[in-house]
Amino acid sequence: MAIRKTLIITVGTRQIGWKCKDGIIRCFGTDGGRNEPKHTDELYQELGVTRGHEQEGDRTYPWGVRDLGEKYFEYCQEWLGEDFSKVQLLMDEKIIQDHTDLNHIILWGTNQPETVSWSYRRSDTLWLAKLMEKKIKATFPKLKVDVFDPQIPLNNLSDIREELEEFILEFALENIKTDDEFTLMIENKGSTPTISESISICAAGLVRQYNIINIVPEQPEPSYEVNTSSRFAETYKTTAIVEYFWPLEKLRVISAWERGDFEEARIWLASHQTKHEVIYKLAKWLSLSINGEINKYFITKIGQWINSKAVKKLAEPEKITDWQQKLQAIKENQYAKTWETFFLFETLFQRKNYTTAFIIFAQTLERLLYLEWQSIQYDDNSNFESLINEWCEVNGENNSKFRDLLHKIRTLRNKVIHKAKPVTEKDLSDLRISIQNSLTVTDDNKESIKGFKAVLEKICKKNYETPPETLMRSLANWGLSVLNNS
């Protein structure tokens, strides 16, 4: 599996500057407005060129960054011998320096067709993007850098979306394999509203597949030194795009968690791993436990999770100690390991998957009876019926209602297994009545499993003190609490 990271920068008019002969860094797009220095005029003067203008009807528009960028690109190529060192990455230098694991940068420069008024075309950034490309390649030679400058009017949202979806994003993703860990960072501070909106929509469609990060350089305050030199952006904010979806998807995760559908919860959490990795991994282990995968591998992995630094940052020390003790008991005690299957039973019962839940209950009962039998004899040939009879003999229950209850459970189990019959609500109601008649348990709520738990506790009470919660139930309840408070 390869780790890949790509940065898309939508190049704005103030993205870069130029270090002039007097040492002042002048920004290509700073044109004297709002008490700002007249850097654009001064950059023309640096080249010894008079700033021209375009006439459209009765309106006159001075040249802007489209023309200025082209002149400086030609100047670097023809007069400085391909030396682009004086180009300054005002917005993005810090970002590129910090992300040493970057593989690829895509620069999107605007390039509107001649059918668009010069009043808009004068601010196109295709040449600024080309200057950035040369500067980045010279400064960071290991980085792959590409420029896209499609001829699209900036008010044509559909064409911008099409270009982004069919060419730019496809190009960014073309060498990504299904098992690669891919991050796409988007820096669109300098983009027009139509480009920004298009990128946001497309990025939202990718959050289930990839880690999509919005990265925004913060304009320094003040923006200029005393000598009017432009300052570099020294800080930036990063936001995982998927975070915008968390308020809604959190509700879906919680709903799945409460239903015991931890696999569904894990799927919803997959794109939120940056902030919820601990719960994402817990959902995986709970899902495996529901599938009956409490084996040596599972025990090792859940132990590593419990003892991880990330979990210790979230869980109280007392809670972690309790989990560690429960896990150690599962490793050493067959009763404790068997008792964990009660979590599977109650989860399936909660989902109203009564037939499967009952089979798990019957298997757990038989397993506990077998462990009881092993404590006095070592005959591995005992069946469910003989295990019930032997337990009743040893515990003085030969003529009791509890013995009748155990055989009723066995008979229903056989009907399900031998005749492929489902367990109905009537079957459960009959069982609940038998439990109440044989044990001092009030269990009138048809959704309650208190009576079923009491049956299992009675079987093993001489040799094992059942905990208030299984390890898996404790973990599931804790995970739900973390989700509710996130």
CA 64 to chain centre: 43
Q: Residue 206: pLDDT band by 50, 70, 90 thresholds?
A: confident
Rounded to whole angstroms, how far apart are CA atoms 231 and 90? Answer: 7
Q: Is the pLDDT of residue 377 over 90?
A: no
Domain spans of the chain, in order of start:
3-234, 253-484
Write down the pLDDT at residue 188.
Answer: 93
Write down the pLDDT at residue 17.
Answer: 97
Highest mean pLDDT among 1-15, 69-83, 374-388: 69-83
Write down the pLDDT at residue 166.
Answer: 82
Look at phi and psi of residue 434 and say left if phi exceeds 0, alpha if psi is from -120 to 50, else beta. Answer: alpha
Write down the pLDDT at residue 442.
Answer: 66
Q: Is the pLDDT of residue 378 over 70?
A: no
Q: Is the pLDDT of residue 443 over 70?
A: no
pLDDT digits (tens, 9 = 90+) for 35-48: 899 999 999 999 99
Q: Is the pLDDT of residue 58 over 90?
A: no
Write down the pLDDT at residue 444.
Answer: 58
CB of 102 within 8 A of CB of 31? no
Question: 60 or 123, which is more confident?
Answer: 123
Write down the pLDDT at residue 305.
Answer: 95
Give percent of the chain with pLDDT exceeding 70.
97
Rounded to whole angstroms, how far apart are CA atoms 252 and 270? Answer: 13
Write down the pLDDT at residue 274.
Answer: 81
Backbone angles phi, psi at 308, to 5 degrees: -75, 155
Of the candidates 281, 286, 332, the residue with the CA atom closest to the CA atom of residue 307 = 281
Of the candidates 361, 407, 403, 401, the residue with the CA atom closest to the CA atom of residue 384 = 407
What mean pLDDT is predicted for residues 175-196? 84
Question: 131 or 289, which is more confident?
Answer: 131
Q: Is the pLDDT of residue 445 over 60?
A: no
What mean pLDDT is predicted for residues 183-208? 87
Write down the pLDDT at residue 81.
Answer: 96
Rounded to whole angstroms, how far apart are CA atoms 63 and 89? Answer: 22
DSSP 277-306: HHHHHHHHHHHHHHTT--SHHHHHHHHHHH
Mean pLDDT rounded to a whole number for the chain: 91
pLDDT digits (tens, 9 = 90+) for 135-155: 999 999 999 999 999 999 999
Highest mean pLDDT among 165-174, 322-331, 393-402: 322-331
**Out of 258-272, 340-354, 375-389, least confident range:** 375-389
